[in-house]
Structure 1
């Protein structure tokens, strides 16, 4: 909405008028002929007279300089047939033509709002970018349940790969490389997009009309029947609680008892009774008694 900032000296009232104009521009589509079918709509917009270069420039100047909404309406209406023409080229994606035209009309209104007649180009040349941008965004969001193209390279592939494949037929390694070079992407990205565009959406569960004896859905084979998630969580929590309780109980022992329990039961490199007897300069039997008493205290503390 660069018009709002075209003149930084605009007063608050003038800026308010600019905002109102922007809002009204979005409502221009209400003037589009309404009809009961897409065929009638196409016929209606095709009957609207096209503008000459001089007429278009005069209207564009009125809109650009004075914010004339009637001029904007005429510019939009006279180019609706071009939106229909562009939208028809996206029919292969299986989306309703009426929705494609509607999105293209939004792009046309954005283009009219931003068109600068002093640049010296026709509106149709300027608007085609905005019309296609809106249609592209709609196709990417609605062609699959999961969006297939998110990066700039993927978007470029999505709208060019089908056309390239029609020309090249089935992809070989050499053909993949050729497409990658033509579109300026990696061969890996070409193969990934090829796989995505070849796949189809699948319902996770069977529908009411599916025969369970002959139809399959991911819900039937993705479940891992070798494990029980509920029991895994229960056992994990039990083991954690037991471990926490054990180490808390060990801290209640004296230092020598702690050391004996840890080296005899919790260490990877376990010590023998005799090793500990030599370390503490007592008999192995005495170490065994200390160990036994410590285990009793731990058992009592963990009950």
Structure 2
């Protein structure tokens, strides 16, 4: 397939298989031709000036191999490469949307930042150990600690450098390099070096098969949980009764019929239209009365709590 053939397709995405077959996807995007600078500028202007979505699609298509390349840099975090590529593709689309060809920069350079940013966000949202990596410095530490460890450990393999614990001197060096506290380096190093522990036991039926789920404490017996349960029970009984007493007769009946009554067949209470027919008003009027009653009840319950 030559460049002109690829650029005349009405649906450029037809060339790319689903990410469900990752090997086929990567092979397909690596076969797609790259755009020349003149073609890239022409397509970018068509999209920017005329909102030509076909041109935007061709720009994205020609840079999918870049996303695959970037995704390989983040395989060490234990997340599926297909998911990393998917997130990187989102970043690529954002880059194409904002790309200005008049700046004299190639799209590959401009898109790199957006691709990495989306992948970073995905890892931070999903990786088990980085729920606390919220500041800019912590993120920088998280994404650079592995490579810094490898350079500090010299000729060690990537796996060995990941497992090896940093010395005090190396911790100080990393802290200076990334402008973070040494305590943060130690904490992140501990979390990166940790392993996953299965809560459930393995499938083997031997008597020696144990897992944390077998000896974790029952939270329902924990004192604060007991107090919370009593509090919820009080709100559900005395609190609701007191809140209903604050309503006028019509509002109270509407709330009770809508939310506190259960039919013999187990279904919920009456509909807005059924109550509207009883009171001879519109369903919207019943909804307004119900909303005002609920607001008043919430205030009473808040005071009771």
Q: CA deviation at 1:34?
A: 1.3
* 8 Å CA contact retained: 1:145, 1:201: no
Query: Unpaired segments of 5 or more residues in structure 2?
Result: 1-10, 154-164, 231-305
For the residues of structure 2 that align with 1:148 and 1:233, how far apart are their CA atoms?
29
* 8 Å CA contact retained: 1:148, 1:196: no
- Structure 2 length-normalised TM: 0.60
For the residues of structure 2 that align with 1:221 and 1:74, how far apart are their CA atoms?
54
Question: Aligned to 2:105, what secondary structure does the other structure show?
Answer: coil
Question: Aligned to 2:210, what secondary structure does the other structure show?
Answer: coil
Question: Aligned to 2:61, what secondary structure does the other structure show?
Answer: helix
User: Pick from 177, 195, 200: which aligns with 1:200?
Assistant: 195
For the residues of structure 2 that align with 1:127 and 1:116, how far apart are their CA atoms?
11
Q: CA deviation at 1:209?
A: 4.2
Structure 1 residues 31 and 110 mapped into 2: Cα distance closer, same or farther (>3 Å)?
A: farther
* 8 Å CA contact retained: 1:105, 1:131: yes
Question: Aligned to 1:90, what secondary structure does the other structure show?
Answer: helix
* 8 Å CA contact retained: 2:13, 2:57: no
For the residues of structure 2 that align with 1:56 and 1:233, how far apart are their CA atoms?
65
Alignment of 1:216-295 (within 5 A): 216-217=211-212, 219-220=214-215, 229=222
For the residues of structure 2 that align with 1:143 and 1:134, how far apart are their CA atoms?
14
Structure 1 residues 31 and 150 mapped into 2: Cα distance closer, same or farther (>3 Å)?
A: farther
For the residues of structure 1 that align with 2:175 and 2:131, how far apart are their CA atoms?
21
For the residues of structure 2 that align with 1:32 and 1:187, how far apart are their CA atoms?
50
> In the alignment, what sits opposite 2:176?
181
* 8 Å CA contact retained: 1:91, 1:97: yes
User: Pick from 46, 50, 53: which aligns with 1:62?
Assistant: 46
> In the alignment, what sits opposite 1:34?
17
For the residues of structure 1 that align with 2:120 and 2:12, how far apart are their CA atoms?
20
* 8 Å CA contact retained: 1:156, 1:183: yes
For the residues of structure 2 that align with 1:49 and 1:138, how far apart are their CA atoms?
28
* 8 Å CA contact retained: 1:103, 1:135: yes
Structure 1 residues 178 and 32 mapped into 2: Cα distance closer, same or farther (>3 Å)?
A: farther
Question: Aligned to 1:89, what secondary structure does the other structure show?
Answer: helix
Q: CA deviation at 1:76?
A: 0.5
> In the alignment, what sits opposite 1:132?
116
